[in-house]
Amino acid sequence: MTTQSASTGDSANAGRLSGRQPGEAGRGRSAALLSVRGLRVSERTGAGRRALVRDVTFDVGAGEIVCIVGESGSGKSLSVKATMGLLGRNSRLETGGSVIFDGRSILEMRPEQQRRLRGREMAMVFQEPMASLDPVMPVGKQVAESVQRADALPGRQARSRVAELFGHVGLPDVQRVARAYPHQLSGGMCQRVMIAMALASRPRLLIADEPTSALDVTVQAQLLDLLNRLRDEETMSILLVTHDLGVAAAIADTVVVMYAGRTAEVGQTTQILERPRHPYTAGLLGSVPRLGQSRGGVKRRLAAIGGTVPEPGRLPEGCAFAPRCQKVVERCLSEDPPLEWQGASAVTCWEAPHDG
Amino acid sequence: MTATDLAEQAEWARTDEERSARSRHSVTPSVWASGVFLFLVIFAAAFPGLVSPGDPLVLHPTEVLKGPAAGHLLGTDAFGRSVLALLVYGARPALVVGVLCAVLGAVAGSSMGITAGFFGKIADQSIMRFNDVLMCFPGILLALLVSAALGGASLENEIIAVAVGTVPMYARVARGETMKVRRMLYVDAAMIAGLPRRRIIMRHVVPNILAPLVVIATLAVGVSIVTAASLSFLGLGPVGGVPDWGQLLAQGETNISVAWWISTFPGIAITLVVVATNLIGDWLRDRLEIRS
Amino acid sequence: MTADGQARSDAPLRQQGGPGTGGSSGRGTAEALLAVQDVARHFRSRQLTSHGFRSTLVRAVDGISLSVGSGETVGIVGESGCGKTTLGRVVLGLDSPTAGRVIVDGQDVATVRGKARRLLRRRVQAVFQDPYGSLDPRMKIGRAVSEVVACHNPEWNKPEVARRGEELLAMVGLDSAKTAAYPAELSGGQRQRVGIAKAFAAQPDLIVADEPVSALDVSAQAQVINLLVDLQAQTGVAYLIIGHGLAAMEHICDRIAVMYLGKIVEIGTSEAILSSPAHHYTAALIDSALDLAPGPRRTLSLLRGEPASARAVPSGCRFRTRCAAAQPRCAEQEPPLTATHAEHSVACFYPRSGAVRGAEQAALDDQ
């Protein structure tokens, strides 16, 4: 089996050399709902251009949950915003690459078209649910507004649709919650309200940016359960951004690992967790403490990755991870490895293990 | 209003803010002009001999109350002294008083505010109620009272009286900022680490509240100059020597119908200096706000 | 600094004869370094509701007793609103307890005054959750650390203070080039190291760490956890760690106390708590913890409802509103903390027995 490579600028041909598109292997579908190739975001500063997102490539299939995992400085939130076309008005940022949603190129659309798409087929949920809601309006009314935008329903029907949505996301005591103000609800409930709002337009893709980071672990478990259910029952695709590998392990079908503005590795969850191909992924997995690992009274050292994440604009020559990498060789210091596909998995590393 | 709308708005708000921040950062022509003007005034105050056409105390008895003309550019006063020369020599006392009052007021007012904000409770209540009493009086009235209490006309009394009037401005702001910083985690950390409170105040509170106080001080220079000029106008200023701008104004008042220039030019000078310091102060505030 | 962030061990950490080289409780003696006895901390909070101002009593900490021995690491886990941060503040002296006593090295902190009190307080230092907020943004980090050193060693001169400051920074893995850096120039992990250096500058016997790694990136978390463990091995300091990540807590702590709504519901050795939790809340926390085990997904949510608020504490057992095993008795009486084995106590009338089987645990057991 040959490996295919897609160099950073060659977005048009990425992934096409192999017969299979990424994300297909597990699902057997031929066309991805969302296809991102070579996404770039740079910032124009006084001293030239600073690349914040250098090359992001991944697919989201219908009914698939894809998790983008990365630490601060990885560019994950910016990538997702660029995917939704939210960066158009910022004159200091330049976006490049291709983002194809259902056969349409988002980055080439006009702003109104992008907005229509965002309101209908794509929806987004954020980290701080209480900050996203209007504090002086009952939440039921806010969701009703979304419903009316999406379906143009009259008042009473909108309200019953709101009740339906609330039930769908697992909110108890629907009437009471609908009348409540955001500060009267807990973080977990607010987040469910946000999801209900997002579902109003029956989106095909739900994008969630760190939706559970601000929540307690028991509430987080409930919410991830909900996302699972939505994927199963509605065949909704979910693109979830997180810094927590555990979240990805819990619900993702495909994991995209980002480092310093680039895709480090893409693959199915099981493969990423059991046989990571990129040293950064392996390092992350090794450095996370696991329950049961330190039993028997012995405090074991965690296999931490040394060094710190490089700042955008101050990246080393060659591979950005090289200074911290255990498997670094000469070539890594001068040449930045391209994204190489192997079936459903891709990696940017000269030393990545190959099967077959 | 959907979540995606909110995302859009957040992005746009950030873009707009960046754009306006950049424009605030720039130095506008009026700020330049103020800077240049103040530089000239400071120069005149430092080296009046170089700027002035002559000694202000020289009398020209033949040219009493003459209007602006070739010989005396801004006219002469009732004693035949050149108004221009008087104006130039008056710059120093004006600036000295302005700056000294600003500094004095800053030190006194900020100390009060910091003490009130840091220690709270009784200290806070007593200091701020005293501050409220100060604020009850209109600036000039308070200056009059203090001046009278201190024993009347002299330069020192004038400076103290004017400074007292500026204290409330600093005290309020210093107290608010101190309370904000007091709640910061690094102050808690310093207290746990065992640092004495005086050290915490000097090393951690003061540097972090300096910015707004500096802005107030800049603006206070203008206020002080006006108030000091008012006191001098009323006869409570320094005695003898070269009349300062306020005293010039007073002198011109009696002759205003026949010799408008004696009051007008000092008045314009005061106004311009105050406007210039205000513009610089505003620009400073914008710059420092951006940084924080 | 070695590749994985291990602290250099060549810098002497404990000076001879300084405070904190033992006190009245040497290492390994029975007397606890810190003893918290029935501590409660209530707040009055006024809220504007639709019925006007309502004043409610927030029972943030409602009767906690625990002890930390010299050189030991005790962890407190719980979700938001359980009062663990408030407990930390009371132990550090930032808040006074509404009831109960905080005893450091045999002395009640509240009864000691003046210089003796200051000396006592200095033996308990803190590392905070927020690596950004806990450092003065306008002070270079070298100054920040040497400031603490100078405060505790007033007889030293400047070069001695500076040298000790650099030693401390080296101890936490920051090289001397960083001495002149401002906090804004450092990463989150590096800032947290500075915070740790400051805490050790006072030569404490006990360090209270409030969520020391929660605000850091994953890779920095591992480095800082390793650093804390290394420093403890080198200095013999005791830790009281407040956190919510169970796996990390198991890694660092000897004993763990689980808090819910102001009270400890279970306390014991890490191993006992995490392998055979007796309280239903503990079991739920363990099951909710996300692990990295691949394989078929299990249903994640096990708890009903939302965490209750410290403003309206349920009668009897506080946890009964969310507990699947609640019985009528749980609403009438509050279960006391009772020992089930040596070093393992639980506050429940119907405690669980047997081990919890999270997926990872199952995988480990199957090996």
- What's the token pair of residue B196? 């004495």
Distances in Å between the Cα of A108 and the Cα atoms of A73, A83, A100, A104, A123 are 27, 11, 10, 9, 19
Q: Is C343 helix (H, G, I), strand (E, B) or coil?
A: coil
- Per-residue HEC secondary structure of B185-246 comes to HHHHHHHHCCCCHHHHHHHHHHHHHHHHHHHHHHHHHHHHHHHHHHHHHCCCCCCCCCCCHH
Flag whether pLDDT at A304 surpasses 90: no
Element (H, E) at C36: strand C34-49
Cβ separation A292–C364 shorter than 8 A: yes
pTM comes to: 0.80
CA distance B266 to B252: 9
Please list the ranges in chain B whose pLDDT falls under 70.
1-8, 10-26, 289-292
Q: How far, rounded to the nearest angstrom, does the alpha carbon of residue B281 sit from its chain's CA centroid?
A: 9
Which positions in chain C touch B185 (Cβ < 8 Å)?
128, 130, 133-134
Element (H, E) at B113: helix B83-119
Between chain A and chain C, how many beta carbons pairs sit less than 8 Å apart? 165
- What's the token pair of residue C101? 């006593």
- Determine contact: C311 vs chain A, CB below 8 A: no
Q: CA quadruple B130, B133, B138, B142: dihedral positive or negative?
A: negative
CB-based contacts of A175, cutoff 8 Å, min separation 6: A163
Nearest CA distance, A215 vs chain C (angstrom)? 8
- What's the token pair of residue C328? 């009528």
CB-count burial class (<10 Å; 0-12, 13-18, 19+) for B39:
exposed
Q: Which of A211-215, A268-272, A302-306 has the highest mean pLDDT?
A: A268-272
Which positions in chain A touch B14 (Cβ < 8 Å)?
90
Chain B's closest residue to C208, CA to CA, is B192
- Determine contact: A122 vs chain B, CB below 8 A: yes
CB-based contacts of C251, cutoff 8 Å, min separation 6: A289, A293, A294, A299, A300, A302, C225, C229
Residue type, A291: L
Closest alpha carbon to A139 in A206, A189, A72, A87: A189
- Determine contact: A123 vs chain B, CB below 8 A: yes
CB-based contacts of C105, cutoff 8 Å, min separation 6: C23, C24, C25, C31, C33, C120, C123, C205
- Kindly state the percentage of chain A with pLDDT values over 90: 23
CB B259, CB B252: distance < 8 Å: yes
Closest alpha carbon to C84 in C110, C61, C109, C51: C61
- Determine contact: C359 vs chain A, CB below 8 A: no
Cβ separation C5–A304 shorter than 8 A: yes
| Complex prediction ipTM | 0.79
- Determine contact: C168 vs chain A, CB below 8 A: no
- Determine contact: C252 vs chain A, CB below 8 A: yes
CA distance A179 to A157: 16
Cβ separation A149–B2 shorter than 8 A: yes
Cβ separation B1–A126 shorter than 8 A: no
Q: Residue C126 is nearest to which of B192, B199, B203, comparing CB atoms?
A: B192
DSSP, res A180: S
Cβ separation B208–C136 shorter than 8 A: yes
- Axis-axis angle for helices B121-136, B155-182 (nearest 10): 140
- What's the token pair of residue C77? 């886990």
Name chain C's partners: 3 or more CB pairs within 8 A.
Answer: A, B
Interface mutation vs chain A, best among C50, C193, C219, most A CBs within 10 Å: C219
CA distance A193 to A130: 10
Cβ separation A126–B3 shorter than 8 A: yes
Q: How far, rounded to the nearest angstrom, does the alpha carbon of residue C3 sit from its chain's CA centroid?
A: 27
Chain B's closest residue to C151, CA to CA, is B195
CA distance C311 to C81: 10
Nearest CA distance, A83 vs chain C (angstrom)? 24
Closest alpha carbon to A53 in A8, A120, A104: A8
Interface mutation vs chain C, best among B184, B192, B199, B204, most C CBs within 10 Å: B192
Task: Provide mean pLDDT across the span A66-74.
Answer: 90
Q: CA quadruple A208, A210, A216, A222: dihedral positive or negative?
A: positive
Supply the pLDDT for residue C354: 64
DSSP, res A323: G
Cβ separation B204–C148 shorter than 8 A: no
Cβ separation B194–C136 shorter than 8 A: no
Which positions in chain C touch B190 (Cβ < 8 Å)?
136
- What's the token pair of residue C1? 């600094």
Element (H, E) at C65: strand C52-68
Supply the pLDDT for residue A298: 63
Supply the pLDDT for residue C358: 47
CA distance A188 to A216: 8
Cβ separation B191–C94 shorter than 8 A: yes
Element (H, E) at B40: helix B29-46
Q: Residue B188 is nearest to which of C94, C199, C202, comparing CB atoms?
A: C94
Which positions in chain C touch A221 (Cβ < 8 Å)?
287-288, 290, 300-303
Cβ separation A290–C305 shorter than 8 A: no
Which residues 77-136 on chain C approach chain A with CB closer than 8 angstroms?
Answer: 79-80
CB C360, CB C293: distance < 8 Å: yes
CB A355, CB A336: distance < 8 Å: no
Nearest CA distance, A325 vs chain B (angstrom)? 35
Supply the pLDDT for residue A299: 67
Interface mutation vs chain C, best among A72, A185, A291, A327, most C CBs within 10 Å: A291
CB-based contacts of B26, cutoff 8 Å, min separation 6: none
Please list the ranges in chain C whose pLDDT falls under 50.
1-29, 357-363, 366-367
Which residues 66-105 on chain A approach chain C with CB closer than 8 angstroms?
Answer: 71-72
Question: pLDDT by residue (tens digit) across A80-113?
Answer: 988 888 887 777 788 889 999 988 898 888 888 8
- What's the token pair of residue A83? 């995917």
Chain A's closest residue to C224, CA to CA, is A304
Round to the nearest angstrom and report the end-to-end CA distance of chain B: 32
Q: Residue C292 is nearest to which of A228, A249, A295, comparing CB atoms?
A: A249
Cβ separation A216–C244 shorter than 8 A: yes
Supply the pLDDT for residue A8: 39
Supply the pLDDT for residue B3: 61
